[in-house]
Chain A
Amino acid sequence: MPQTPTQTEYEAVIGLEIHVQLRTQSKLFCPDSTRFGDEPNVNTCPVCLGYPGALPVLNKKAVEYAVMLGLALNCEIAELSKFDRKHYFYPDLPKAYQISQYNMPVCTNGYMELSTGTRVRINRAHMEEDAGKLVHAGAEGLAGSDYSLVDLNRAGTPLLEIVSEPDIKSAAEAREYMTNMRNIVRYLGVCDGNMEEGSMRCDVNISVRPKGQTEFGTKTEIKNMNSTRAIEQAAEYEIARQVQILESGGSITQASRLWNEATSETMLMRVKEGEADYRYFPEPDLRPLHISREWIEALKRQLPELPEERRARYISELDFSTHDASILVDVKELGDFFDAARPHCPHYKTLVNWLTGEITAYLKTEKKSMADTRLTPNALAELVELQENNTISSTTAKKLLAELLEKGGSPAKIVEERDMAQISDVGELKKMVEDVIANNPKQAQQFRDGKEQVLGFFVGQIMRATQGSANPELVNQLLRELI
């Protein structure tokens, strides 16, 4: 009996092309600033405007950033690489060619390990210059617009394009790959990793095939995702869409598709008719790029701790949960904050709880980064100690944290100045407890008759009277003794 289509199991084959904007001060081939958000066309010169006779000169820092990123991705660094011209006409491309690296890229044969055990091989990472931007009047795109304005501030910004092999097997893996990549560029300081502003952009190539089949299915390329979450959603959607088409007997059209955040769908952008002919040839205005072994070794020595190294340290040395480790690894500044506070704080687990709990929640609601707050690692360590040695109650600690985040300051000083320390003086509390019992004989009797819940009532009374600063454990203990 022939197998019905619904019984076929499919697997996804996914590869990512990621463009990383290297955070150099000046552009890849000229001294103009790479600043984002300036008035149109102010950061331009004859070189990046493609004026007749102007020539490119390679930015050394961009090469170093590319090498560092290559090393972090376990790539081989080419001692000899070269630049090529990639030709096409578009108003945001001033020279009608992009200076890129075609067949001798700076980095090759790298890989990244995912938590699923999948090793994603990296085919290559090559340097190239970014194009400018078009602003269309009267329409979404060029087609149908009344006119279009060209802003070449971004033209010539250095990019590293990282091309993976199609080793990714699920939408979740695609997201993890991108998240890790973003962590790596941030740890290295070679890119701010901001997908919304386009500092990191990614195209996802997806195809599906029946499990067990060796040849690839027809792929589509998805563009326009501006978060790691969008990558996962888009990949999920696209896998399902392709499976559905194949299930119903259809075939996949090779095409570029756009992720639409609003509708959570991928939409057809353009169908690819054969390979575009970019007429690559070696860039005659630049000499081949020689990167000496010594230079590579020197950069290797400068590499900071990488995300996976930090994760391993948190989990194996400090016994973090995977969840906590992930938060402190993925949000680099939280991990940095932890590492800075840790030497001043023996109770580092409480420190982690604050960072992954209250502080993360605060940053999310306020849409702030750690750098926007006034809290210092020392202050947080101090706060944890005040709490751990019972100087303050957890309620007080929370209140204090909110204040430290907004206004800063030393928690020990604030506690002292405002008399916020919790009341742990047995004599003082004993007097209060006796008073409360005397004033509420009915409830006291209920407790003596075995109604345990009534204890909560008494605790509440004491807390109200002390504005929350009584040591709750001590209050409980005294109540049981005195009723």
Chain B
Amino acid sequence: MMKTTRTALELHEAIQSGQQTALSVLDDVYNKIAEHEPAIEGFNCLTQELARETAREVDRRVQVGETLPLLAGVPIAIKDNINIKGYPTTCSSRILEGYVSPYDATVYQKLKQHLMPVIGKTNLDEFAMGSSTETSALKITKNPWDLSRVPGGSSGGSAAVVSANMVPLSLGSDTGGSVRQPASLCGITGIKPTYGLVSRYGLVAFASSLDQISPFGQNVKDTAALLQVISGADELDSTSIKNHPEPNYLQCIDQDISDLRIGVIQELQNDAIQPEVLKSIQDAVQTFESLGATTQPVSLPSFQYAVAAYYILATAEASSNLGRYDGVRYGQRVEEPDSDLHTMYRKTRSQGFGPEVKRRIILGTFCLSSGYYDAFYAKAEKARELMRHELRKAFEQVDILVCPTSPSTAFKIGEKLNDPVNMYLSDIATIPVNMAGIPAISIPCGFDQQHLPIGLQLMGPHQSEARLFQAAYAFEQKTGLCNLIPDLKIPPKSEPLI
């Protein structure tokens, strides 16, 4: 069904023009959360006080006639691996139980500057490791289109709460597809920006060379506006891009795309992809042609190494990044009266981490071990260089590349949890993007026979976000596939039993 409520940008307009107060918008959000959260379970915690404080400030400024910054007053949810001072950052892991952050992530500072009320923190796969949000130690988030299915992951909570229309915008983090894949499975828009466009300061690291904070929205414009808010150089993040021109994606978003050259990735057009997904992508390519774009097949042979190379590099970095959870300074410590230091380390980490995190720490530790480094890490780096090279070449021929975001639509809860390799393969189309550090957006492009959303992925060269938004927006305008919200049936309240 089509959403009848306002988009994020419309809400902002309404607040700025005084048609609606930021506080009333916030009340609507919390009402919807009260209604749908029990079924969806997307939030790890709500930050009502924080949100109300910001909303009050917005209303105060409107009253004195101030012009608000972009998206001011629009509520947003953030993934629970982004730090807000004074609030827990759980990463949906038991090992961070009791940890309260002493500092703000840069991205939160940006939201604060833009007066966007942060309404809560959302569930994720433990430490963002997973593709279904099932590895969370806290709860299982459901896909709003079918509550027996996963929302994707790792940013499943952030995707589900936007998809269920509890909140118009959210932030996730994308290391190998963790925003685009859940966007695809939940029928919303998600963009993984160029590596370094958004500061990582305050984002709990999974794989530092791949992680990027990424926005979700219910349509392309809202998502573009949010990226505009959070991007920019940060002196606290050495890997953030310096001298990037101040982006204004909205200004040129409706530009004509008839000169657009589109490449269709051949390696993601095979029988590993669900047939309905494949069909939908082919339709999408035709839609682009009808908009005047030219299309051509593009072959990227190195993509076959993507998943294997990714699971070496990402786990190697993860094994290093997660060493700090040792029970010494914060979080859970498990010790017994007579236990020595090493016993404390072992027990704390054995009990604090879940099986998927342990699997990746062990895998990564192995790959970095002396004698194996060259065979694994160094080789994976070569594969990564090869992917970069091939993509650079491809972008000499075409402006953007298209492929499905995920090989399948949302799968059943529990279906792949004990089949890690199969689970890892759900990121086959998204991983190369992180490996190359380029941007890619996922937008809805149709439904399968079970009425589960299908996502289309558009990739572009470094810092081509504006172009991606234009292509995505043109597609969205043509197909009308935006602001889709699932028909969430609220289970009838049962009468109390005697």
Binding site for B on A (CB under 8 A): 45-46, 49-58, 85, 87, 89, 91, 94-97, 142, 150, 275, 277, 279-281, 284-287
Contacts and interface: CB of A to CB of B under 8 A. Distances in A.
B269 interface: no
B238 A57 contact: yes
A50 B317 CA distance: 15
Given A87-B320, A94-B324, A284-B209, A46 B238 contact: no
A280 B320 CA distance: 10
A53 B203 contact: yes
The 4 closest A-B CB pairs, nearest first, are A96-B323, A284-B209, A279-B368, A284-B208
Given A89-B326, A97-B320, A97-B323, A55 B236 contact: yes
B201 A53 contact: yes
A53 B323 contact: no
Contacts of A51: 101-103, 329-330
B89 interface: yes
A281 to B, nearest CB: 6
A85 B236 CA distance: 19
A contacts with B: majority SS: loop
B309 interface: no
Given A53-B201, A89-B323, A275-B370, 11 more contacts: A50-B324, A52-B96, A53-B204, A54-B103, A89-B345, A91-B328, A94-B324, A94-B328, A277-B369, A285-B238, A287-B239
Interface in B267-311: none
Contact of A55 (B237, B319, B323): B237
Contacts of A89: 323, 326, 345
A81 B237 CA distance: 19
A94 B202 CA distance: 17
A280 B203 CA distance: 23
Contacts of B345: 89
A281 B328 contact: no
Interface string B167-199: 000000000000000000000000000000000
A285 B208 contact: yes
A53 B83 contact: yes
A52 B373 contact: no
17 contacts: A46-B103, A51-B102, A52-B96, A53-B201, A53-B204, A89-B323, A91-B328, A95-B324, A96-B323, A97-B323, A142-B341, A277-B370, A279-B369, A279-B370, A281-B317, A284-B239, A287-B239
Contact of A85 (B82, B320, B373): B320
Nearest to A148: B341
Contacts of A91: 326, 328, 341
A145 to B, nearest CB: 10
B contacts with A: majority SS: loop
A57 B200 CA distance: 12
Contact of B238 (A56, A87, A142): A56
B330 A53 contact: no
A53 B368 contact: no
Contacts of A275: 370
Contact of B91 (A46, A52, A57, A95): A52
B400 interface: no
A71 B55 CA distance: 57
B102 A53 contact: no
Nearest to A52: B204
Interface string B63-93: 0000000000000000001110000010100
Interface in B309-333: 316-317, 319-320, 323-324, 326, 328-330
B371 to A, nearest CB: 9
Contacts of B27: none
Given A91-B328, A281-B373, A53 B320 contact: no
B365 A53 contact: no
Nearest to A278: B370
B238 A286 contact: yes
Given A281-B316, A284-B317, A96 B370 contact: no
A57 B207 CA distance: 18
A277 B317 CA distance: 16
A94 B82 CA distance: 20
A53 B370 contact: no
Q: Taking each of A94, A96, A287, which has the highest tally of chain B beta carbons within 10 Å of its own beta carbon? A: A96
A46 B205 CA distance: 14
Contacts of A280: 368, 373
B235 interface: yes
B96 A58 contact: no
A45 B96 CA distance: 18
Given A87-B323, A281-B373, A52 B235 contact: no
Interface in B99-129: 99, 101-103, 105
B238 A53 contact: no
Contacts of B330: 51
Contacts of A45: 103
Contacts of B209: 284
Contacts of B369: 277, 279
A58 B235 CA distance: 10
A59 to B, nearest CB: 12
